[in-house]
Amino acid sequence: METGMTAIRAIKWQTAKGENDPVLFLAVYDAREVLKAKSDMEPLSPIDLKKNDLMLLEVKMVHYHVKDIKTNKWGHCAQFEIIAISLLHSANYSQEDDKQQETMIKDLWI
């Protein structure tokens, strides 16, 4: 069990409760002109999201307890479940940018 702020994780369940078939996360919306109700924005494919895009994440924080089998003590855990992603600004990004960044900052892996 990890304690304190040593572990930060963001997840999205890829299966509906009680089902075994994976479900593609499709709650991605185009908010580049104006952020509105999700029903009033155009849906986007998650594939359209790129590195360096500015996004607003709607998440639900889930808090739960986990028992450490080694110490037999209970610990607190929390995780974010992604509800929706709104694209606020699309960055001009290319794979050439990655190559330039690698040469500018040694040993940086993003």
* pLDDT tens by residue, 53-62: 999 999 888 8
Q: What pTM was estimated for this model as a whole?
A: 0.62
Mean pLDDT value of segment 87-105: 67
- Would residue 59 count as lying in a domain? yes
HSE-CB at 31 with a 13 A cutoff on CA atoms is 19
- Would residue 101 count as lying in a domain? no
- Would residue 2 count as lying in a domain? no
Of residues 9 and 90, more confidence is placed in: 90
- Would residue 62 count as lying in a domain? yes
- Would residue 22 count as lying in a domain? yes
- Would residue 86 count as lying in a domain? yes
What is the residue range of 67's domain?
A: 10-91
- Domain total of the chain: 1
Mean pLDDT value of segment 75-101: 77
- pLDDT category, 2, cuts 50, 70, 90? very low
